[in-house]
Amino acid sequence: MKAQTVEQLLTLLEHPQVDLINEVRLLIKQAEPSLVEGVKWNAPSYALDGNDIMTFNFRNYGSISLIFHTGPKGKDTKTGQRLFEDASGLVEWVADKRFVVKVVDGRFLQAHTAEITQLIQTWCTYAANNFEPLV
């Protein structure tokens, strides 16, 4: 059975860190209420204006990864010119317009709530600008 909702997905997935996943989901909703949660690529995903721009990755138990991306039609560039400079130290850039934030546990999430909230809001600002540099 394919999950239609994130709740169904998490029940089927039986992930050992489901409580942490739900804490991150709540943080995302609080950081940017206009994001729409759904299931994409067999994981919770968040869309802005119909374009998925953030998706969970559960492949590495021991941490939960949140992938910030430009959507299914977005193209990675490797120009070496990242979309913005990250002052938090939490970002692992994998392309100029795609990065990962790994949340290892609830203590880490609490310690970095402000930084992760800012990253979500910044990413949504860029998404609303078609991932072009802000002037």
In the chain, count of helices (H) and strands (E)?
4, 6
Q: Check: CB of residue 57 under 8 Å from CB of residue 67.
A: yes
CATH topology of domain 6-128: Aspartate Aminotransferase, domain 1 (3.90.1150)
The H or E element that residue 69 is part of is: none
**Angstrom distance (rounded) from CA 93 to CA 42:** 23
Single pTM value for the model: 0.92
Phi, psi at 70, each rounded to 5°: -100, 5
Q: Give the start-to-end residue ranges of the domains of the chain.
A: 6-128
- pLDDT tens sequence across 27-85: 999 999 999 999 998 899 999 999 999 999 987 767 899 999 998 766 767 677 888 99
